[in-house]
Every structure is written in structure tokens, then in C-alpha cells.
């Protein structure tokens, strides 16, 4: 049989370790520190040929994170993040670069963007007439 005095001492030490001393004073929990000084900005961009993302199988997908530094699998993350910052994260505000000439070939390409931009959820979809037109918007956001 086990020693009852030893068992009581073990339980008492465990309770004191887990619960702390019983002094009657309430202790406030330390203030939670934020995990990051930057609001999250992480996006997943997909593209595929067709009229709508509901009917298109994604052919390519990249990730883009812009805070605190540009990173991800996007081929030009730094420039893409700069474009998004200049547009205040409004993907619809990105315009075609001047001087880019594309054919009038109709081969629709759908771009879908989902994620978080500066702490706000983002869900965006746009159909471009062809790859050239898609790649001309912004400096590089949709060029992947």
C-alpha cells in the first residue's frame, strides 16, 4: 500500500505548483501581446481559362504575403505588393499599364483572389479577354 503522508504531500505540492499559493489575492493575467505589429496581408491568387471561376479548373495558383515584407510563391511579390499598396488593396482599382498592346483574341482567363488584406477579408474575381490583357493589369499582381 502507498504511504498516505507521501501521497498528500505530492498532491499538495502539485496543487501549489499548478494553482499558486493561496494568499487570497487575485492576480490579473498579463496583457496579451499582439503576434505581429502588422495587420495580416496574405492572398491566394488562382487563374484558369474560361468564363467564371465556378466553371473553371484552376491552372495556376500562387500565394502573396505583403506584411511585414513581400513573400510567397508569386513570381514578383515585391512589385505586386507595391501595386496593391498603391491601390489601397482594391484589386478592382488596378488599371492596365499604358503602352501595352494586346491582340483582340478572345480566350477568357479568370483570376480569383481570396485571403486577407490588412486585416480585412478579400474575395475578388475578374474575367480578362486573354492572358495578355490579364498580365497588363497593375505592374505584376496578375502576372503569374
| DSSP letter (8 states) at residue 91 | G
Where are the strands (E) in 16-119, listed by range? 42-49, 60-65, 109-117
* Parallel/antiparallel/unpaired status of strands 120-128 and 60-65: unpaired
Q: Torsion angle, CA of 79/82/84/86, rounded to 10 degrees?
A: -140
Interatomic CA distance for residues 21 and 26, integer angstroms: 11
Looking at 3.10.450.710, 3.40.50.720, 3.30.350.10, 3.90.79.10, the CATH number of the domain 42-136 comes to: 3.30.350.10
pLDDT, tens digit (0-9, with 9 covering 90-100), for 92-136: 999 888 888 999 999 999 999 999 999 999 999 999 999 999 988
* Parallel/antiparallel/unpaired status of strands 42-49 and 120-128: unpaired
Q: What is the pTM of this model?
A: 0.69
- Name which of 53, 49, 51, 72 is nearest 141 in CA terms: 72
Express as a percent the part of the chain with pLDDT over 90: 55
Q: Domain residue spans in the chain?
A: 42-136
- Name which of 89, 133, 121 is nearest 81 in CA terms: 89
pLDDT, tens digit (0-9, with 9 covering 90-100), for 27-58: 444 544 455 566 788 999 999 999 988 899 99
Amino acid at each position: 500500500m502507498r504511504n498516505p503522508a507521501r501521497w498528500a504531500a505530492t498532491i499538495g505540492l502539485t496543487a501549489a505548483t499548478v494553482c499558486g499559493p493561496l494568499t487570497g489575492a487575485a492576480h490579473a493575467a498579463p496583457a496579451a501581446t499582439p503576434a505581429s505589429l502588422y495587420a495580416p496581408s496574405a492572398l491566394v491568387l488562382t487563374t484558369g481559362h474560361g468564363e467564371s471561376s465556378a466553371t473553371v479548373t484552376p491552372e495556376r495558383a500562387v500565394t502573396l504575403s505583403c506584411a511585414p515584407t513581400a513573400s510567397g510563391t508569386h513570381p514578383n511579390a515585391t512589385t505586386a505588393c507595391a501595386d496593391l499598396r498603391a491601390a489601397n488593396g482594391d484589386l478592382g482599382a488596378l488599371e492596365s499599364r499604358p503602352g501595352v498592346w494586346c491582340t483582340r483574341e478572345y480566350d477568357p482567363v479568370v483570376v480569383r483572389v481570396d485571403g486577407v488584406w490588412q486585416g480585412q477579408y478579400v474575395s475578388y474575381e475578374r474575367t480578362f479577354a486573354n492572358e495578355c490583357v490579364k498580365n497588363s493589369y497593375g505592374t505584376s499582381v496578375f502576372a503569374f
